[in-house]
A and B are shown apart, each in its own frame.
Chain A
Amino acid sequence: MRVPPELKYTDSHEWVRWESDGSATVGITDFAQESLGDLVFVELPQVGRTLKAGEASAVVESVKAASDVYAPIAGEVVAVNQALADKPELINSDAFSAWLFRLRPLEAGLQARLLDATQYSNNIAQHK
């Protein structure tokens, strides 16, 4: 199971990458895609929508089940990955490049509340 060390993580299996412009890119982890199985539908948030931390902001559906994707931090949606609308399976092939949406954080200093790769690895180890 891949857990890239440069990313941050949540308990609910989202990953976050901090971009040089201060925005945060959000996706679901390899663990999440493997648990869900083949993805067949992704519903993305509207650009411009303001999300609270922990708010259900996107839906990923596999053949088996549907799952909410939660906003890891509070922020405004500044971009979404439209490629996923036609090819949700991109998440199965590489969960860490198939990002879902990008947020402009509403407050500073949020990084510290997220898990680092070691903490997240320990988390998913307990699921097995």
Chain B
Amino acid sequence: MLKRTALHQIHLAAGARMVDFGGWEMPLHYGSQIEEHHAVRRDAGVFDVSHMRVVDIAWADARAFLRQLLTADIERRGPDRAMYSCMLNERGGVLDDLIVYRWGDDPTRFRAILNAATAERDLQWMDALVSNRGLRVECRPRPDLAIVALQGPNSAAVLSRAQPQLAARAVPLEGFHSVHTDAAFVARTGYTGEDGFEIVVPGEKAAGLWRSLTASGARACGLGARDTLRLEAGLLLHGQDIDETVTPLESGLGWTVDLDSDRSFIGRTALERQRASGPLRQLLGLKLLDKGVLRTHQTVSTEHGEGQITSGSFSPTLQASIALARLPAPVRPGDTVTAQLRAGPASARVVKPRFVRHGRPLI
């Protein structure tokens, strides 16, 4: 039996095509994935992402706990800041990537949002760290909360019309900042490469919030559009582009890893070893030069050896096929490589893995 979010009935009534997404019954699209994609690039769209797991992390050692758990350092982030980070195993493999939010300037309260497919394992890992090190920390999963992502250049205008009181607190937020109000937790974060808000509310309030946003001009968007949007933005998907068999240094996520301070976090030793020897692989972008579509798991041949596509699709903004690919370390942007498509070999150009941001092509 698939799990359902608080917005299930709304999706059905809107004619969503529902699919199994990591054990959750989620909307893939509401008619046209491509039109939903364009709505987010040009106007505003709203996504139900309640399958992701909110976890509240609190108590006296909460900050010390996060400094051991994550590659990035929460202590270096100011009040109300959001921090993207990796959670590693001892070998430096990526167990999950997540955003942690500070709760005002409280050093004992934080909120994390975990990927749906990894949430249970993450929580076990977190609980094990707490008990092994004898920390005074409570990690409380919040399945009672729903998450709605409002994304697109007109997000602030939509939010102001739909939820004026909430917007008064949320619209002034800078990127990667958040605010708690009586009604909701709102962060200026997202997974599309556009401006927007991620709004966390009690499940019973989700339908009202959703209706107000769609009535104020946001288009209902499914996880299909979310995937092409995040791919164009060069944002990684755990389970595809990264997993516990690769490190952040091999995945374009070196910027999330703090090796400068003497802070000891799980996986640090493995990363230092890898940094000293130089990673053998890297994650780069591909743009297909021939006709066809790059797909996940296809082989890529380069003059430095073989690689593999980790996420491939058609880019509605660029009107061409693009991909993220794990390639041998010597490959450089500008190189031409050969992808083994379904129909046979095809040429692709290696690019920096950031294809579109704020509605504009970058390649």
Contact = CB atoms under 8 A, between A and B. Distances in A.
Contacts of B313: 63
Contacts of B33: 37-38, 63-64
A63 B316 CA distance: 9
A41 B17 CA distance: 21
B279 interface: no
Contacts of A66: 293, 295, 342
Contacts of B293: 40-41, 61, 66
Contacts of B34: 38, 40, 63
B291 A41 contact: yes
Interface residues of B, number: 18
B266 to A, nearest CB: 36
A43 B292 contact: yes
A66 B291 CA distance: 13
A66 B17 CA distance: 18
A59 B295 CA distance: 14
Interface in A57-89: 59, 61, 63-64, 66
Contacts of B17: 37
Interface residues of A, number: 11
Judged by DSSP, the binding face of A is: strand
A59 B314 contact: no
B325 interface: no
A38 to B, nearest CB: 4
Nearest to B342: A66
Given A59-B343, A64-B33, A66-B342, A37 B28 contact: yes
Contacts of B228: 63
Given A61-B292, A63-B313, A63-B316, A37 B342 contact: no
Nearest to A35: B17
Contacts of A61: 292-293, 314, 342
Nearest to A65: B295
Given A64-B224, A66-B295, A59 B29 contact: no
Contacts of A40: 34, 293, 314
Interface string B221-239: 0001000100000000000
Interface of A: 37-38, 40-41, 43, 59, 61, 63-64, 66, 92
Sorted nearest first, the 8 A-B pairs with minimum C-beta distance are: A40-B314, A38-B34, A61-B293, A63-B314, A38-B33, A66-B342, A63-B33, A41-B293
